[in-house]
Chain A
Amino acid sequence: MDNEALRHFISERVPGAEIGQGPQFLTATVPAVNARALLHDLRHDPNTQFDFLFCLTGVDYPPDHMMVVYHLRSTVWGHHLVVKSRIPTRENPETDTVCDLWRTAEFHEREVYDLFGITFRNHPDLRRLLLTDDWVGHPLRKDYSDPVNLIEY
Protein backbone atom coordinates (compact mmCIF):
# COMPACT_ATOMS: atom_id res chain seq x y z
CA MET A 1 0.00 0.00 0.00
CA ASP A 2 1.43 3.41 -0.81
CA ASN A 3 1.15 6.36 1.55
CA GLU A 4 -1.93 7.73 -0.21
CA ALA A 5 -3.81 4.48 0.29
CA LEU A 6 -2.64 4.29 3.90
CA ARG A 7 -3.93 7.80 4.53
CA HIS A 8 -7.28 6.77 3.12
CA PHE A 9 -7.27 3.55 5.19
CA ILE A 10 -6.70 5.48 8.42
CA SER A 11 -9.07 8.40 7.80
CA GLU A 12 -11.80 5.94 6.88
CA ARG A 13 -11.53 4.37 10.33
CA VAL A 14 -10.64 7.42 12.42
CA PRO A 15 -12.13 10.49 10.74
CA GLY A 16 -10.39 12.97 13.03
CA ALA A 17 -6.88 11.54 12.59
CA GLU A 18 -4.08 14.00 11.89
CA ILE A 19 -1.93 12.43 9.21
CA GLY A 20 1.38 13.94 8.19
CA GLN A 21 4.45 12.90 6.29
CA GLY A 22 7.56 12.91 8.46
CA PRO A 23 11.10 12.89 7.06
CA GLN A 24 10.94 9.08 6.84
CA PHE A 25 7.57 7.67 7.79
CA LEU A 26 3.92 8.51 7.45
CA THR A 27 2.68 9.55 10.89
CA ALA A 28 -0.90 9.33 12.10
CA THR A 29 -1.97 10.92 15.39
CA VAL A 30 -5.22 9.50 16.73
CA PRO A 31 -7.10 9.84 20.03
CA ALA A 32 -6.25 7.03 22.46
CA VAL A 33 -9.85 5.77 22.48
CA ASN A 34 -9.60 4.94 18.76
CA ALA A 35 -6.02 3.68 18.75
CA ARG A 36 -6.65 0.09 19.68
CA ALA A 37 -9.30 -0.50 16.98
CA LEU A 38 -7.14 1.15 14.34
CA LEU A 39 -4.04 -0.84 15.31
CA HIS A 40 -6.10 -4.02 15.26
CA ASP A 41 -7.19 -3.32 11.69
CA LEU A 42 -3.69 -2.33 10.61
CA ARG A 43 -2.37 -5.59 12.00
CA HIS A 44 -5.00 -7.88 10.51
CA ASP A 45 -6.22 -6.29 7.28
CA PRO A 46 -4.72 -8.25 4.37
CA ASN A 47 -3.79 -5.02 2.58
CA THR A 48 -1.83 -3.54 5.49
CA GLN A 49 -0.52 -6.49 7.54
CA PHE A 50 1.70 -4.51 9.88
CA ASP A 51 3.12 -7.56 11.60
CA PHE A 52 6.36 -6.09 12.95
CA LEU A 53 6.12 -3.58 15.82
CA PHE A 54 9.73 -2.50 16.01
CA CYS A 55 9.46 0.31 18.50
CA LEU A 56 6.91 1.26 21.14
CA THR A 57 7.48 4.16 23.44
CA GLY A 58 5.86 7.01 25.32
CA VAL A 59 6.36 10.75 25.21
CA ASP A 60 5.32 13.24 27.86
CA TYR A 61 3.92 16.60 26.77
CA PRO A 62 3.13 18.68 29.82
CA PRO A 63 0.85 20.23 30.82
CA ASP A 64 -2.02 18.41 29.20
CA HIS A 65 -1.27 15.23 27.27
CA MET A 66 0.90 12.17 26.70
CA MET A 67 1.58 10.06 23.64
CA VAL A 68 2.22 6.40 23.01
CA VAL A 69 4.15 5.97 19.76
CA TYR A 70 3.98 2.77 17.73
CA HIS A 71 6.48 2.20 14.90
CA LEU A 72 5.08 -0.38 12.52
CA ARG A 73 6.49 -2.21 9.55
CA SER A 74 4.95 -4.85 7.37
CA THR A 75 7.33 -7.67 6.52
CA VAL A 76 4.90 -8.73 3.80
CA TRP A 77 4.43 -5.42 1.99
CA GLY A 78 7.47 -3.52 3.23
CA HIS A 79 5.61 -0.34 4.17
CA HIS A 80 6.02 1.65 7.37
CA LEU A 81 3.70 3.65 9.55
CA VAL A 82 3.99 5.54 12.82
CA VAL A 83 0.84 5.66 14.91
CA LYS A 84 0.69 8.11 17.79
CA SER A 85 -1.99 7.56 20.34
CA ARG A 86 -2.84 10.81 22.11
CA ILE A 87 -3.91 10.46 25.74
CA PRO A 88 -5.58 13.73 26.75
CA THR A 89 -4.51 13.68 30.39
CA ARG A 90 -1.42 13.30 32.55
CA GLU A 91 -3.39 12.28 35.66
CA ASN A 92 -3.74 8.49 35.58
CA PRO A 93 -3.32 8.17 31.81
CA GLU A 94 -4.81 4.99 30.39
CA THR A 95 -4.92 3.28 27.03
CA ASP A 96 -5.62 -0.23 25.72
CA THR A 97 -2.93 -2.82 25.41
CA VAL A 98 -1.79 -4.22 22.07
CA CYS A 99 -0.10 -7.29 23.60
CA ASP A 100 -2.42 -9.65 21.79
CA LEU A 101 -1.57 -8.09 18.42
CA TRP A 102 2.21 -8.03 18.84
CA ARG A 103 3.74 -10.06 21.65
CA THR A 104 6.75 -7.76 21.87
CA ALA A 105 4.38 -5.11 23.24
CA GLU A 106 4.17 -6.95 26.55
CA PHE A 107 7.69 -5.92 27.56
CA HIS A 108 7.56 -2.54 25.89
CA GLU A 109 4.29 -1.60 27.59
CA ARG A 110 5.67 -2.61 30.95
CA GLU A 111 8.60 -0.30 30.31
CA VAL A 112 6.31 2.59 29.35
CA TYR A 113 4.18 1.94 32.44
CA ASP A 114 7.32 1.95 34.56
CA LEU A 115 8.92 5.09 33.15
CA PHE A 116 5.84 7.16 32.21
CA GLY A 117 3.07 5.86 34.43
CA ILE A 118 0.73 5.07 31.54
CA THR A 119 -1.62 2.20 32.39
CA PHE A 120 -2.38 -0.32 29.66
CA ARG A 121 -5.83 -1.82 30.12
CA ASN A 122 -6.05 -5.62 29.78
CA HIS A 123 -2.29 -6.08 29.92
CA PRO A 124 -1.70 -9.58 31.37
CA ASP A 125 1.10 -8.63 33.75
CA LEU A 126 1.48 -4.89 34.20
CA ARG A 127 4.30 -4.36 36.71
CA ARG A 128 7.36 -2.19 36.86
CA LEU A 129 10.08 -3.59 34.64
CA LEU A 130 13.35 -1.71 35.02
CA LEU A 131 12.89 0.00 38.38
CA THR A 132 12.25 -1.62 41.74
CA ASP A 133 8.66 -2.29 42.74
CA ASP A 134 8.70 0.35 45.48
CA TRP A 135 10.03 3.17 43.30
CA VAL A 136 8.11 6.44 43.64
CA GLY A 137 7.36 8.37 40.47
CA HIS A 138 7.99 7.85 36.79
CA PRO A 139 11.43 9.12 35.72
CA LEU A 140 10.83 9.90 32.06
CA ARG A 141 8.07 12.34 32.87
CA LYS A 142 9.21 15.87 32.28
CA ASP A 143 8.40 17.07 35.81
CA TYR A 144 10.24 14.25 37.58
CA SER A 145 13.10 15.25 39.78
CA ASP A 146 15.29 13.08 41.93
CA PRO A 147 17.77 15.06 44.03
CA VAL A 148 19.37 11.86 45.40
CA ASN A 149 20.39 10.60 42.01
CA LEU A 150 21.09 14.11 40.70
CA ILE A 151 18.32 14.30 38.15
CA GLU A 152 17.09 17.86 38.49
CA TYR A 153 15.12 19.82 35.96
Chain B
Amino acid sequence: MENLIDKAPETQEYFINMGPQHPSTHGVLRLVLTLDGEIIRKVEPHIGYIHRSIEKMCERDSYQQIVHLTDRMDYLSCHINNEAVCLAVEAALQLEVPDRVKVIRTIIAELQRLSSHQLWWGVMGMDLGAITTFLYGFRDREMITDIFEETCGARLTMNYNVPGGLMFDIHPNFQRRTKAFLAHFRKKLPEYDDLLSNNIIFRQRTEGIGRLSKEDAISFGVTGPTARASGFSCDVRKHFPYSAYPGVQFREILHTEGDCYARYRCRIDEMWESLAIIEQLIDNIPEGPYKVPTKAVIKLPKGEWYQRVETARGEFGVYIISDGLRSPYRLKFRSPGFSNLSALDHMARGCKIADLIAIMSTIDLVIPDIDR
Protein backbone atom coordinates (compact mmCIF):
# COMPACT_ATOMS: atom_id res chain seq x y z
CA MET B 1 0.00 0.00 0.00
CA GLU B 2 1.18 3.50 -0.83
CA ASN B 3 2.45 5.49 2.11
CA LEU B 4 -0.04 8.33 2.27
CA ILE B 5 1.56 9.99 5.27
CA ASP B 6 4.81 10.88 3.52
CA LYS B 7 3.05 12.29 0.51
CA ALA B 8 2.44 16.03 0.53
CA PRO B 9 -1.27 16.76 0.46
CA GLU B 10 -2.62 17.96 -2.83
CA THR B 11 -4.23 21.36 -2.68
CA GLN B 12 -6.12 23.29 -5.23
CA GLU B 13 -7.34 26.84 -5.49
CA TYR B 14 -11.05 27.46 -5.34
CA PHE B 15 -13.20 30.54 -5.39
CA ILE B 16 -16.11 31.80 -3.38
CA ASN B 17 -18.48 34.71 -3.77
CA MET B 18 -18.51 37.33 -1.08
CA GLY B 19 -21.57 39.46 -1.59
CA PRO B 20 -23.56 41.04 -3.16
CA GLN B 21 -25.49 40.53 0.09
CA HIS B 22 -22.64 40.32 2.55
CA PRO B 23 -22.97 42.55 5.63
CA SER B 24 -19.36 43.71 5.56
CA THR B 25 -19.52 45.04 2.01
CA HIS B 26 -21.96 47.74 3.20
CA GLY B 27 -23.97 47.68 0.06
CA VAL B 28 -24.28 45.60 -3.02
CA LEU B 29 -20.68 44.81 -3.87
CA ARG B 30 -19.69 41.33 -4.96
CA LEU B 31 -16.15 40.11 -4.50
CA VAL B 32 -15.06 36.90 -6.17
CA LEU B 33 -12.28 35.54 -3.98
CA THR B 34 -9.75 33.05 -5.29
CA LEU B 35 -8.53 31.15 -2.25
CA ASP B 36 -5.81 28.73 -1.37
CA GLY B 37 -7.06 27.35 1.90
CA GLU B 38 -7.88 30.52 3.73
CA ILE B 39 -5.21 32.60 1.99
CA ILE B 40 -6.54 35.07 -0.55
CA ARG B 41 -4.81 34.78 -3.92
CA LYS B 42 -6.98 37.20 -5.83
CA VAL B 43 -9.93 39.51 -5.23
CA GLU B 44 -12.06 40.38 -8.21
CA PRO B 45 -14.64 43.09 -7.49
CA HIS B 46 -17.88 42.90 -9.49
CA ILE B 47 -19.60 46.26 -9.32
CA GLY B 48 -22.51 47.96 -10.98
CA TYR B 49 -25.42 46.48 -9.06
CA ILE B 50 -26.77 49.95 -8.43
CA HIS B 51 -25.43 51.66 -11.52
CA ARG B 52 -27.95 54.35 -12.42
CA SER B 53 -26.05 55.92 -15.29
CA ILE B 54 -25.93 59.26 -13.54
CA GLU B 55 -23.46 60.58 -16.13
CA LYS B 56 -25.96 59.89 -18.92
CA MET B 57 -28.75 61.53 -16.95
CA CYS B 58 -26.55 64.60 -16.55
CA GLU B 59 -26.42 65.01 -20.34
CA ARG B 60 -30.17 65.53 -20.21
CA ASP B 61 -30.52 67.63 -17.04
CA SER B 62 -29.96 71.27 -16.22
CA TYR B 63 -27.08 72.23 -13.96
CA GLN B 64 -29.40 72.85 -11.02
CA GLN B 65 -30.77 69.33 -11.41
CA ILE B 66 -27.32 67.79 -11.65
CA VAL B 67 -26.51 69.08 -8.16
CA HIS B 68 -29.31 66.90 -6.82
CA LEU B 69 -28.02 63.80 -8.57
CA THR B 70 -24.64 64.08 -6.86
CA ASP B 71 -26.29 63.47 -3.48
CA ARG B 72 -27.12 60.00 -4.65
CA MET B 73 -23.52 58.99 -5.20
CA ASP B 74 -21.55 59.33 -1.99
CA TYR B 75 -24.49 59.98 0.30
CA LEU B 76 -22.20 60.36 3.31
CA SER B 77 -20.45 63.29 1.64
CA CYS B 78 -23.44 64.65 -0.23
CA HIS B 79 -22.88 68.27 0.70
CA ILE B 80 -19.29 68.10 -0.50
CA ASN B 81 -20.35 66.46 -3.77
CA ASN B 82 -22.92 69.23 -4.31
CA GLU B 83 -20.21 71.75 -3.68
CA ALA B 84 -18.01 70.28 -6.42
CA VAL B 85 -20.68 70.78 -9.09
CA CYS B 86 -21.55 74.24 -7.79
CA LEU B 87 -17.90 75.31 -7.76
CA ALA B 88 -17.43 74.03 -11.31
CA VAL B 89 -20.49 75.92 -12.55
CA GLU B 90 -19.45 79.06 -10.67
CA ALA B 91 -15.94 78.85 -12.12
CA ALA B 92 -17.34 78.48 -15.62
CA LEU B 93 -19.69 81.45 -15.17
CA GLN B 94 -16.92 83.40 -13.39
CA LEU B 95 -19.31 83.95 -10.53
CA GLU B 96 -17.84 85.13 -7.24
CA VAL B 97 -19.93 83.85 -4.34
CA PRO B 98 -20.20 85.90 -1.11
CA ASP B 99 -17.88 85.11 1.79
CA ARG B 100 -20.86 84.09 3.88
CA VAL B 101 -21.59 81.28 1.43
CA LYS B 102 -17.98 80.09 1.46
CA VAL B 103 -17.86 79.92 5.24
CA ILE B 104 -21.21 78.17 5.65
CA ARG B 105 -20.32 75.68 2.93
CA THR B 106 -17.06 74.89 4.67
CA ILE B 107 -18.64 74.47 8.12
CA ILE B 108 -21.27 72.11 6.77
CA ALA B 109 -18.68 70.21 4.73
CA GLU B 110 -16.62 69.62 7.85
CA LEU B 111 -19.68 68.59 9.85
CA GLN B 112 -20.39 66.19 7.03
CA ARG B 113 -16.87 64.80 7.18
CA LEU B 114 -17.25 64.30 10.92
CA SER B 115 -20.57 62.53 10.53
CA SER B 116 -19.13 60.32 7.79
CA HIS B 117 -16.12 59.40 9.90
CA GLN B 118 -18.33 58.74 12.93
CA LEU B 119 -20.43 56.35 10.90
CA TRP B 120 -17.31 54.73 9.49
CA TRP B 121 -15.85 54.32 12.99
CA GLY B 122 -19.01 52.73 14.35
CA VAL B 123 -19.35 50.38 11.43
CA MET B 124 -15.69 49.46 11.36
CA GLY B 125 -15.87 48.40 15.00
CA MET B 126 -18.93 46.36 14.21
CA ASP B 127 -17.23 44.66 11.26
CA LEU B 128 -14.47 43.56 13.60
CA GLY B 129 -16.86 42.31 16.26
CA ALA B 130 -17.33 45.31 18.54
CA ILE B 131 -21.04 46.13 18.49
CA THR B 132 -20.74 48.93 21.07
CA THR B 133 -18.86 51.27 18.76
CA PHE B 134 -21.80 51.32 16.40
CA LEU B 135 -24.02 52.74 19.15
CA TYR B 136 -21.43 55.32 20.20
CA GLY B 137 -20.79 56.45 16.63
CA PHE B 138 -24.47 56.84 15.87
CA ARG B 139 -25.15 58.64 19.13
CA ASP B 140 -22.77 61.44 18.15
CA ARG B 141 -23.73 61.40 14.51
CA GLU B 142 -27.34 61.97 15.48
CA MET B 143 -26.49 65.44 16.77
CA ILE B 144 -25.04 66.40 13.40
CA THR B 145 -27.96 65.02 11.43
CA ASP B 146 -30.28 67.03 13.69
CA ILE B 147 -28.34 70.20 12.84
CA PHE B 148 -28.60 69.33 9.14
CA GLU B 149 -32.30 68.65 9.46
CA GLU B 150 -32.92 72.04 11.01
CA THR B 151 -30.83 74.06 8.57
CA CYS B 152 -31.06 72.11 5.31
CA GLY B 153 -34.43 70.42 5.72
CA ALA B 154 -33.05 66.91 5.26
CA ARG B 155 -30.90 64.56 7.25
CA LEU B 156 -29.07 62.63 4.56
CA THR B 157 -29.46 63.96 1.02
CA MET B 158 -29.42 67.62 1.88
CA ASN B 159 -29.24 69.50 -1.44
CA TYR B 160 -28.17 72.60 0.42
CA ASN B 161 -25.90 73.97 -2.29
CA VAL B 162 -27.13 75.58 -5.46
CA PRO B 163 -25.02 77.22 -8.17
CA GLY B 164 -24.40 80.72 -6.86
CA GLY B 165 -24.81 80.02 -3.16
CA LEU B 166 -27.08 78.17 -0.80
CA MET B 167 -30.67 77.04 -1.05
CA PHE B 168 -31.61 79.21 1.96
CA ASP B 169 -29.94 80.91 4.90
CA ILE B 170 -28.85 79.04 8.02
CA HIS B 171 -31.36 78.40 10.77
CA PRO B 172 -31.14 80.85 13.74
CA ASN B 173 -30.19 77.90 15.97
CA PHE B 174 -27.38 76.72 13.70
CA GLN B 175 -24.45 78.38 15.46
CA ARG B 176 -25.68 77.57 18.96
CA ARG B 177 -26.32 73.92 18.20
CA THR B 178 -23.08 73.50 16.31
CA LYS B 179 -21.15 74.92 19.24
CA ALA B 180 -23.02 72.62 21.61
CA PHE B 181 -22.03 69.71 19.39
CA LEU B 182 -18.38 70.79 19.32
CA ALA B 183 -18.27 70.95 23.12
CA HIS B 184 -19.95 67.56 23.34
CA PHE B 185 -17.77 65.84 20.76
CA ARG B 186 -14.48 67.21 22.10
CA LYS B 187 -15.25 65.25 25.25
CA LYS B 188 -16.50 62.16 23.42
CA LEU B 189 -13.79 61.75 20.81
CA PRO B 190 -11.19 60.50 23.35
CA GLU B 191 -13.72 57.78 24.20
CA TYR B 192 -13.27 56.46 20.67
CA ASP B 193 -9.62 55.82 21.43
CA ASP B 194 -10.45 54.28 24.80
CA LEU B 195 -13.02 51.96 23.33
CA LEU B 196 -11.34 50.72 20.19
CA SER B 197 -7.94 52.17 19.31
CA ASN B 198 -6.06 50.57 22.19
CA ASN B 199 -7.99 47.33 22.25
CA ILE B 200 -5.48 44.50 21.87
CA ILE B 201 -7.72 42.39 19.62
CA PHE B 202 -8.45 45.35 17.41
CA ARG B 203 -4.77 46.26 17.17
CA GLN B 204 -3.79 42.73 16.23
CA ARG B 205 -6.41 42.63 13.51
CA THR B 206 -5.34 45.92 11.96
CA GLU B 207 -1.61 46.45 12.49
CA GLY B 208 0.48 45.30 9.58
CA ILE B 209 -2.59 44.15 7.65
CA GLY B 210 -3.29 45.23 4.07
CA ARG B 211 -0.20 47.32 3.47
CA LEU B 212 -0.23 49.79 0.60
CA SER B 213 2.98 51.56 -0.33
CA LYS B 214 3.06 55.20 -1.33
CA GLU B 215 4.07 54.37 -4.91
CA ASP B 216 1.21 51.91 -5.27
CA ALA B 217 -1.25 54.37 -3.75
CA ILE B 218 -0.30 56.95 -6.39
CA SER B 219 -0.33 54.42 -9.21
CA PHE B 220 -3.77 53.13 -8.22
CA GLY B 221 -5.10 56.68 -7.96
CA VAL B 222 -5.97 56.15 -4.31
CA THR B 223 -6.85 59.38 -2.48
CA GLY B 224 -8.26 60.53 0.82
CA PRO B 225 -7.36 59.11 4.24
CA THR B 226 -6.63 55.77 2.56
CA ALA B 227 -3.77 57.35 0.60
CA ARG B 228 -2.60 59.68 3.37
CA ALA B 229 -2.09 56.66 5.61
CA SER B 230 0.50 55.54 3.04
CA GLY B 231 2.26 58.90 3.12
CA PHE B 232 0.80 60.28 -0.12
CA SER B 233 0.10 63.94 0.53
CA CYS B 234 -3.08 64.44 -1.47
CA ASP B 235 -5.42 66.59 0.62
CA VAL B 236 -7.26 68.78 -1.89
CA ARG B 237 -8.07 71.23 0.92
CA LYS B 238 -4.33 71.88 1.30
CA HIS B 239 -3.05 71.54 -2.24
CA PHE B 240 -5.90 73.18 -4.16
CA PRO B 241 -7.86 75.09 -1.50
CA TYR B 242 -11.39 76.15 -2.29
CA SER B 243 -14.25 77.90 -0.41
CA ALA B 244 -13.05 79.02 3.04
CA TYR B 245 -10.11 76.60 3.34
CA PRO B 246 -7.42 79.13 2.36
CA GLY B 247 -8.22 81.09 5.54
CA VAL B 248 -8.20 78.32 8.14
CA GLN B 249 -5.39 76.60 9.97
CA PHE B 250 -5.30 72.82 10.00
CA ARG B 251 -2.85 69.99 9.58
CA GLU B 252 -2.88 67.47 6.79
CA ILE B 253 -2.79 64.13 8.58
CA LEU B 254 -0.11 61.87 7.17
CA HIS B 255 0.99 58.44 8.30
CA THR B 256 3.57 56.27 6.63
CA GLU B 257 2.80 52.69 7.65
CA GLY B 258 0.09 52.20 5.03
CA ASP B 259 -1.62 49.42 6.98
CA CYS B 260 -5.17 49.17 8.29
CA TYR B 261 -4.28 50.76 11.60
CA ALA B 262 -2.65 53.76 9.90
CA ARG B 263 -5.81 54.30 7.85
CA TYR B 264 -7.85 54.05 11.02
CA ARG B 265 -5.55 56.50 12.81
CA CYS B 266 -5.73 58.91 9.90
CA ARG B 267 -9.49 59.24 10.11
CA ILE B 268 -9.54 59.60 13.90
CA ASP B 269 -6.93 62.37 13.68
CA GLU B 270 -8.84 64.02 10.86
CA MET B 271 -11.84 64.35 13.12
CA TRP B 272 -9.78 66.52 15.47
CA GLU B 273 -8.76 68.70 12.52
CA SER B 274 -12.37 69.02 11.37
CA LEU B 275 -13.35 70.15 14.85
CA ALA B 276 -10.58 72.75 14.75
CA ILE B 277 -11.72 74.05 11.34
CA ILE B 278 -15.32 74.44 12.49
CA GLU B 279 -14.22 76.19 15.68
CA GLN B 280 -12.29 78.75 13.67
CA LEU B 281 -15.26 79.53 11.47
CA ILE B 282 -18.39 79.14 13.55
CA ASP B 283 -18.15 82.54 15.28
CA ASN B 284 -16.91 84.29 12.16
CA ILE B 285 -19.70 83.79 9.66
CA PRO B 286 -19.71 87.07 7.72
CA GLU B 287 -22.95 88.93 7.16
CA GLY B 288 -24.25 89.24 3.66
CA PRO B 289 -26.42 87.52 1.10
CA TYR B 290 -26.56 83.73 1.07
CA LYS B 291 -26.86 83.56 -2.69
CA VAL B 292 -26.02 85.55 -5.77
CA PRO B 293 -28.76 85.56 -8.37
CA THR B 294 -28.29 83.27 -11.36
CA LYS B 295 -30.39 82.88 -14.44
CA ALA B 296 -33.22 80.36 -14.25
CA VAL B 297 -31.64 78.47 -17.14
CA ILE B 298 -27.89 78.26 -16.63
CA LYS B 299 -25.92 77.92 -19.84
CA LEU B 300 -22.19 77.47 -19.47
CA PRO B 301 -19.92 78.90 -22.16
CA LYS B 302 -18.14 76.48 -24.47
CA GLY B 303 -15.21 74.83 -22.79
CA GLU B 304 -14.04 72.35 -20.17
CA TRP B 305 -13.75 72.56 -16.41
CA TYR B 306 -12.43 70.17 -13.84
CA GLN B 307 -13.26 70.84 -10.21
CA ARG B 308 -12.00 68.72 -7.35
CA VAL B 309 -12.98 68.69 -3.71
CA GLU B 310 -11.95 66.60 -0.74
CA THR B 311 -14.79 64.37 0.38
CA ALA B 312 -14.60 62.08 3.38
CA ARG B 313 -13.31 59.38 1.01
CA GLY B 314 -10.86 61.33 -1.10
CA GLU B 315 -10.64 63.42 -4.20
CA PHE B 316 -14.00 63.85 -5.88
CA GLY B 317 -13.74 65.44 -9.30
CA VAL B 318 -16.29 66.84 -11.72
CA TYR B 319 -15.20 67.11 -15.34
CA ILE B 320 -17.64 69.15 -17.41
CA ILE B 321 -17.45 69.53 -21.18
CA SER B 322 -19.90 72.18 -22.27
CA ASP B 323 -20.95 73.08 -25.79
CA GLY B 324 -22.87 76.15 -24.67
CA LEU B 325 -26.25 74.54 -24.09
CA ARG B 326 -28.32 74.14 -20.93
CA SER B 327 -27.00 70.62 -20.29
CA PRO B 328 -23.38 69.52 -20.38
CA TYR B 329 -22.14 67.73 -23.48
CA ARG B 330 -20.34 65.27 -21.28
CA LEU B 331 -19.96 65.11 -17.54
CA LYS B 332 -17.65 62.74 -15.74
CA PHE B 333 -17.60 62.17 -12.02
CA ARG B 334 -14.23 61.06 -10.73
CA SER B 335 -15.39 59.27 -7.63
CA PRO B 336 -12.82 58.47 -4.94
CA GLY B 337 -14.34 55.10 -4.06
CA PHE B 338 -13.90 53.78 -7.60
CA SER B 339 -10.14 54.24 -7.59
CA ASN B 340 -9.77 53.19 -3.96
CA LEU B 341 -11.60 49.95 -4.67
CA SER B 342 -9.25 49.15 -7.55
CA ALA B 343 -6.40 48.83 -5.02
CA LEU B 344 -8.30 46.28 -2.92
CA ASP B 345 -6.98 43.28 -4.86
CA HIS B 346 -3.43 44.48 -4.42
CA MET B 347 -3.85 45.06 -0.67
CA ALA B 348 -5.66 41.81 0.11
CA ARG B 349 -3.41 39.30 -1.68
CA GLY B 350 -1.80 36.96 0.81
CA CYS B 351 -4.17 37.96 3.60
CA LYS B 352 -6.92 35.86 5.18
CA ILE B 353 -10.63 36.43 4.67
CA ALA B 354 -10.96 38.00 8.11
CA ASP B 355 -8.24 40.49 7.13
CA LEU B 356 -10.16 41.37 4.00
CA ILE B 357 -13.03 42.56 6.21
CA ALA B 358 -10.63 44.87 8.07
CA ILE B 359 -9.13 46.14 4.80
CA MET B 360 -12.53 46.87 3.31
CA SER B 361 -13.59 48.71 6.45
CA THR B 362 -10.55 50.94 6.37
CA ILE B 363 -10.97 51.82 2.69
CA ASP B 364 -14.42 53.06 3.72
CA LEU B 365 -16.35 52.14 0.60
CA VAL B 366 -19.70 53.67 -0.27
CA ILE B 367 -21.11 51.58 -3.08
CA PRO B 368 -23.33 54.17 -4.85
CA ASP B 369 -20.20 56.31 -5.13
CA ILE B 370 -18.46 53.50 -7.01
CA ASP B 371 -21.36 52.48 -9.20
CA ARG B 372 -22.69 55.95 -9.99
Interface residues of A (CB under 8 A from B): 22-25, 27, 51-55, 57, 59-60, 69, 71, 75, 82, 102-104, 106-108, 111, 115, 129-132, 139-140, 151, 153
In-complex Cβ contact of B47 among A27, A108, A130 (8 A): A130
Complex contact B48–A54 (CB within 8 A): no
- In the bound complex, what is the Cα–Cα distance between A106 and B345 (angstroms)? 12
- In the bound complex, what is the Cα–Cα distance between A52 and B236 (angstroms)? 14
Interface flag for B338 (CB, 8 Å): yes
Complex contact B219–A55 (CB within 8 A): no
Q: Which of A52, A108, A140 has its CB near the most chain B CB atoms (within 10 A)?
A: A52
Interface residues of B in 274-295 (CB under 8 A from A): none
Shortest C-beta distance, A75 to chain B (Å), equals 6
Interface residues of B (CB under 8 A from A): 47-48, 51, 53, 55-56, 60, 91-92, 216, 218-221, 223, 232-234, 303-306, 308, 315, 317, 319, 321, 329-330, 332, 334, 338-339, 341-343, 346, 371-372
A-B pairs with beta carbons under 8 Å apart, 6 shown: A54-B221, A55-B332, A59-B329, A69-B319, A103-B220, A131-B48
Complex contact A104–B334 (CB within 8 A): no
DSSP majority for the B interface? mixed
Complex contact B216–A107 (CB within 8 A): no
Complex contact B51–A131 (CB within 8 A): yes
Given A23-B303, A25-B306: A107 touches B342 (CB 8 Å cut-off): yes
Known A25-B306, A55-B317, A71-B334; 10 more pairs at CB < 8 Å: A23-B91, A54-B221, A57-B332, A71-B319, A104-B219, A104-B220, A107-B339, A107-B341, A129-B47, A139-B53
B334 to chain A: which residues have CB within 8 Å?
54-55, 71
B321 to chain A: which residues have CB within 8 Å?
59
- In the bound complex, what is the Cα–Cα distance between A113 and B239 (angstroms)? 32
